[in-house]
Chain A
Amino acid sequence: MRKIIISAAILLTLTLPIFAFDGFADIFDAPVEEVSVSSSSKSGFAITGSAGFSLEGFIDQTNPKDSAVDIGGGLDIDLSWRGSIVDAKANFSLRPSLENELSWIDVFTGLSIATFFEGGRVEAGLLKKEWGSGDGVHVVDVINAPDYRYGIVDDPLAMKVAEPMLYTTIGWNKSSFDLFYKPMLIPMLSEEDPEGRWSMMSTDALTEQFAPLSFKIAIGNSPTTEELSQLSKYQFGARFKQTLGPFDLGVIYYNGYHYQPSYYVNNIDVDMLNPLGPSASATIDVDFTRAQLFGLEATFVTGPLTFMVEGGFWLSEDFKNEKPDKFNNRWVYLAGMGIMIPGTSVYASVTYNGHYIMDFNEFTMGTTTDIPVDTLQALLSSDGKGYLNTITAAIEVPLAREKVNIRLAGTYQIETQGFSLLPSVKWNISDDLVFKASGRVLGSIGEGSPSIFESWKDNSSAKLEIAYLF
């Protein structure tokens, strides 16, 4: 199957006429060298993309012998067709892996058709969209589920799953209105193998909470893919945006699901008389929580500074806090600032974001026969607390007239002391050949509490890649 997809894509690439971008074709006369393609019509195909190769070395701090090298790279192709009132786009990513079979979600990173009308457009297909004012970090970006199967990368769009949806935008004066509908639920993607490199569900972290008990967990109810595809799992959302002087303001409403599954630990049975030592067993049920988000986003620009604010309230289907297997209501918030350093092209930003869970019950050993989903999530990701605050900072330094680009992004979770550092140096050897050296440093300061950064501390890596753009 993989061979067929690759062959088809290559054949398609070879047979399609390459269409020069027409720019403002209604204003400018066709340049002599482009008469053959751009003077006939504004419609046509365009092909862009990149072909690349990479080597990524993972440094296992715990067991240095487990350090490994991944060979990566492949072909990314963006095909687009432009008609008088219709656009069609197909984004393919052909990145063969020695470990995993290619799935449609990996191959089709975008597939859509859009039709335009005066003042707006309607798009349908596998889309990636971004809501929120933050610099790559958001708390109201509800449209696409995140993809953590390959850890954290310094590209927010690459960490989104292209989802089937209908999306429409209408604009007038300084206002716009967006509306989307998703017919099915695609949850957050994560490494399925609990022992896998990027596994997020660390059973070790959970069993540590019950030490010195020997703790066995069985998987109970879990929704099937078919159940998640039912039309009853619909989601929709709307956003109204308005520009008022130096402000861009947006109001958001979303009716759907929390994209992260809720893990409900129940039927906890403690056996203190076990001859092999004290032990416990439990069942984990997996489900999703229906919820509504009432959100705001704002950008304010003054001088070289850009201020960004996002906030929202998640109203859960369990708004009375009666269902331990559903997430509670919660507040989410974000404040950020970006600055273009005067006299340079250096851009730096810092963002503070977090959430606060309402009616949160802290975990107490031995007093309950279950662990509510919020409590379990807190045990695994926020040091057992009903809130989590994160600071993210990034700086980008173009050098040598933008031939070289140095970037450093870092994240620090205050409650867990988990952190990530993502440094990179990109060198545009020529306009179509790019070399990039990047790294991922993951871990915790000091002992650290359970968090994905702590879980992934043996996944720090260094990567070299080269890509040809076309």
Chain B
Amino acid sequence: MKRVKLLLIALLLAVLPLSVFAQTGASIMEKLQATQKADSSAMDINLSLIEANGEVRERRIQTLTMTENGLTSTITVFLSPASVKNTRFLTKENRSGGDDQWIFLPSIGRIKRIAASEGSGSFMGSDFSYSDMASTTFDVDEANHTLIGEETIFNREAYLIESIPITASDYGKTRLWVDKEHCLPLQVEFYSKDGKTLVKTLVTNEMKYVEDRWITQTVTMTTVATKHSTRIEILQAKYNIAMNKGYFTTSFLETGRVL
């Protein structure tokens, strides 16, 4: 009888989802972050600004990111339309945990150092803020993450996690649906600072397997109040590739060249 009990327990452990016992909001977020982590990445992106009436404006950007000695640098170049073409944007994380930022605007023909802390401003008139462009989820140590339950969304099994930031943030709360199979965000709801009003919704339209990892290839952010939305489509993505460090310099920012 004792052997039967042990066998039942063993079977039970085998068939029950691991999450019931081991998964917590924090551990899922850790896995989510690990899934997306890379020492370097390069993305070719199409940004579609979609009005409530369906009118669409397209923007094309390319962005490179490199992490070295724990510090991340990002260079973003704007390829179209003509009004913003050749605008370049450099962000370098510094030892104090903040960012140093410079921008090159063709219209003024020089680089200019700019304030970096204002992450809540709209990125190129899109529904994404600068902070959203860096990450649409809170890091493990930035918020208290609670696993609310499991749901089926867009015909996929998902964990539902509620995150409340530890210190004041642009959002008072987020609700995140994480795909069980690929550990990617399927949907994120962003709430106002008081955590009560839904402000924006991010939906993953398409996932794709690229270079040994799954990525959210197409996502759409919608602002609830205006019904304006922004679709980001990753045209190309490359991870952990060798990159010329010269891209992450003010010299490249000004000239668009490295040797």
The interface of chain A, by Cβ under 8 A from chain B, is 21, 23-24, 26-29, 31, 48, 85, 87, 114, 116-121, 128-130, 155-157, 169, 171, 176, 243, 245-246, 248, 299, 301-306, 338-340, 342-345, 398, 401-403, 428, 430-432, 434, 469-470
Contact = CB atoms under 8 A, between A and B. Distances in A.
Given A118-B259, A303-B117, A130 B44 contact: no
Given A116-B257, A245-B94, A401-B122, A29 B236 contact: yes
Main SS of chain A's interface residues? Answer: loop
Nearest to A346: B121
Contacts of A246: 100
B122 A402 contact: yes
Contacts of B241: 27
Interface stretch (B17-25, B104-112, B132-140, B150-158): B104-112
B42 A156 contact: no
Q: Among B94, B100, B115, B122, which residue has the most Cβ atoms of chain A within 10 A?
A: B115
B109 A128 contact: yes
Contacts of A26: 244
Contacts of B85: 21, 48
A28 B44 contact: yes
Contacts of A398: 122, 125
Contacts of A118: 259
Contact of A345 (B108, B115, B122, B259): B122
Nearest to B98: A246
How extensive is the interface on chain B, given as a class? 35 or more
B222 to A, nearest CB: 13
Contacts of B249: 171
Nearest to A308: B113
Contacts of B243: 27
Contacts of A27: 42, 64, 238, 241, 243
A304 B110 CA distance: 21
Nearest to A468: B82
A176 to B, nearest CB: 7
Interface string B71-101: 0000001011111011000000010100010
B115 to A, nearest CB: 5
Contacts of A301: 100, 113-116
B115 A130 contact: no
A31 B235 contact: yes
B247 interface: yes
30 contacts: A21-B86, A23-B62, A24-B77, A26-B244, A28-B62, A31-B44, A31-B235, A120-B251, A128-B109, A130-B109, A130-B110, A157-B109, A171-B249, A246-B100, A301-B113, A304-B118, A340-B115, A340-B121, A342-B118, A344-B121, A398-B122, A401-B122, A401-B125, A402-B122, A402-B124, A431-B57, A431-B58, A431-B83, A469-B81, A469-B83
A306 B117 CA distance: 11
A401 B257 contact: no
Nearest to B46: A31
Q: Among B96, B116, B247, which residue has the most Cβ atoms of chain A within 10 A?
A: B116
Contact of B251 (A169, A243, A430): A169
A430 B114 CA distance: 28
A23 to B, nearest CB: 5
B228 interface: yes
B86 to A, nearest CB: 7
B36 interface: no
Nearest to A26: B244
Contacts of A469: 81-83
A402 B84 CA distance: 11
Contacts of A87: 255, 257
Contacts of A402: 122, 124-125
B53 to A, nearest CB: 13
Contacts of B121: 340, 343-345
A87 B255 CA distance: 10
A422 B80 CA distance: 29
